[in-house]
Structure 1
């Protein structure tokens, strides 16, 4: 089948190929991302796709991703991509949330140890994160949790767009609690209690998603002018598609905070935290030492509490969890405090301020170049820069 005539893509021929590729041999099909090099060709194709879905129901499974000029779909291994210079394909990899063992817990009422350790309470007389929107791309959130009721907006459910992003796993609720819970004295309080969580449900009840789900979540955050995206998940393989999405969000002024992974590796961290456009986060324990499970090394921008963190859970309950996921939520909350006070800061400036204002870590083998989040030092460094 001729798809490209010279440098030009024949949208009709390509749609015919897609219709066949997404219906045949689905037993041996895998999730793929197909990119269009030419923006005008992508626009033409996206328009043709939306019109063709009425007559070819199988094309309804093809998901457009305008942020990176691509589509995601399940294609049989037996179907090679047609020969056309202006399109290319890569695997749509699975991604998992970053947390380890969880156990039921009761909050002591008030301020969790991690929120105390990063010195958030000392900042609340100056900033509480008011009007800062944080997109939590995760498993959703418990909309009925008493500690989160005043901290949420509708968000989006990418797995079922007709429903609210309800959490059926717990991980997303835990992350949201650390960032912005606001229910003293009975419940808990997060790092930025007046910030707004925008839950983006991209992960299923097992804490799994595809790269395409993440990209759709990033796209939603960019279009809805979200200030910060919390990414408490990762994968080992590099994805050009995810890098494109992260770069486009960064260029749009969105701050992306990503967890480094829980494999205890010393010289490597997971993607997307490994991309330089993100703020990559490792985990510490109560002793200000790097947690044993945390990935570490020169790719980490900052560490934050991630060991035995108590936060909100499903059905109004609480759970203790450990992971670089938990550390990442502390950093997202801290940036919300910073942005509410200094709204003009760019992602580049915020990363520089964080790296200039860290607390030294404890332990003889810890790197001297990276430290733990200290919100009071961070605010002071931002004040000095503003002068």
Structure 2
């Protein structure tokens, strides 16, 4: 492989691609080829401005760059492949209202989390939340937050400029009994990974970098309340790497009301795919559903934390996913030795059958007490 030829090809291609805002992921099959390319890139990027926008995705031996190539250069054929670095969005419906009601939200009660708190509160379980960041000043979260990382601006903390990440974090780990809300696992630790901008948009490469950070910093479980319709082989490789490293990813199915298919990354086998239910214990009309769903959880009219110390009601499979992530934190606090495969089996086997069950609805609804009882057999 001629690394210099590839670097020159990237210089030419990135100049034109930057104007169109398109990005690609270039992944190397051979670790030696990837290492050789990275060395060349380090040497050339100071001299060539277009190369400065190339980001390394070491977890999967790839780079992300403002590039949409027609053809690979000859020295890359058979040694690398490329795919478009697709944008994706967080999974939430239009915002609900700001509310003043506090206490234990209905979803947290519904999955019977409070009944488990005499045994487990998620103490010291590390939860990565790849999202829009978090409100570090929120009184419901100040005892639950660790530093995390801002992947968009590395020199700044992962402060939430959207609200979605704060809402997700509140359902998982809020701990303000007197004036705020209580989350599913109030003594777990949230590590916010800001990969999404203020519009709730990120590229696949941002998510891969977030997964890489979570693996390197030994998260126990990762919440990914977002998705896309496109299958990404690069993202699949990152998800699989996390799974085999002992880091379980919980992902939302999407809010398009589709029957028969769900969004990626929830659609990958090595995630826990989550759909949403409502107060009547029925599948919410907005949730995507298919046999790929592993479990359903409350996702309709969920009250949680919101920036500037507020609380907001929101709906979406994002909200359902955070209930499942919190429940897994409760489980891991009791049984930290459980593998991702064992956790997924426990969550699925202990789920409570839904009302008006049909053949398509193979999955049941999350129930913490049933889950803990099932885990006692491991």
Tell me whether the two structures share a fold, i.e. TM-score over 0.5. Answer: yes
- The worse-fitting range, judged by mean Cα deviation, of 363-372 and 243-252 is 363-372
Shift of 1:25: 5.5
Alignment partner for residue 287 of structure 2, among 273, 291, 294?
294
What is the match of residue 245 of structure 1? 238
C-alpha distance in 1 between matches for 2:314 and 2:164: 9
Deviation at 1:333, TM superposition (A): 0.2
Is 2:221 aligned against 1:228? Answer: yes
Is the counterpart of residue 56 in structure 1 residue 51 in structure 2? no
Do 1:290 and 1:366's aligned partners in 2 also have CA atoms closer than 8 Å?
A: no
Provide Cα deviations, 1:284-324, integer angstroms capped at 9, x if missing partner. Answer: 00111000101112110000000000100111111110000
Partner of 1:65: 57
Higher alpha-carbon deviation: 83-92 or 254-263: 83-92
Call closer, same or farther: CA 1:239–1:333 in 2, change over 3 Å.
same
Matching of residue 103 in structure 1 with residue 96 in structure 2: yes
In the other structure, the counterpart of 1:39 is 31
Paired with 1:141 and 1:70, the residues of 2 have a C-alpha distance of 29
Match of 1:268 in 2: 261
Match in the other structure for 1:206: 199
Rounded to whole Å, the distance in 1 between the matches of 2:113 and 2:43 is 51
Q: Which moved more, 1:104-113 or 1:140-149?
A: 104-113
Q: Deviations over 1:148-194 (max 9, x none)?
A: 11111111111100100111100000000000000112100100000
2:284, 2:305 → 1: CA distance? 22
1:28 shift after superposition:
3.8
Matches within 5 A, 1:297-312: 297-312=290-305
Change (3 A) 1:367 1:288: farther
State the 1:47 CA deviation.
2.4
Question: Structure 2: any 5+ residue segments left out of the alignment?
Answer: none
Q: List gaps (5 residues or longer) in structure 1.
A: 1-8
1:166 aligned counterpart, secondary structure: coil
- Give 1:82's aligned residue: 73
CA distance in 2, matches of 1:10, 1:303: 50
Structure 2 residue 138 is the aligned partner of structure 1 residue 138:
no
The aligned counterpart of 2:188 is: 195
User: 2: distance between equivalents of 1:364 and 1:332?
Assistant: 24
SS at match of 2:377: helix
Contact 2:96 2:315 in 1 (8 A): no
Residue 60 (structure 1) shift: 1.1
Match of 1:114 in 2: 107
One of 149, 153, 161 as aligned partner of 1:160: 153
1:6 equivalent in structure 2: none
In structure 2, the CA distance between the partners of 1:238 and 1:298, relative to structure 1 (3 Å rule), is same
Across the aligned residues of Structure 1 and Structure 2, the Cα RMSD in angstroms comes to: 1.3
Residue 374 (structure 1) aligns with: 367
Give 1:40 deviation, angstroms.
Answer: 1.2
Count of paired positions: 376
User: How far is the alpha carbon of 1:367 from its aligned partner?
Assistant: 4.6
Provide TM-score, normalisation by structure 1.
0.95
1:14–1:368 distance in 2 versus 1, CA, 3 Å: closer
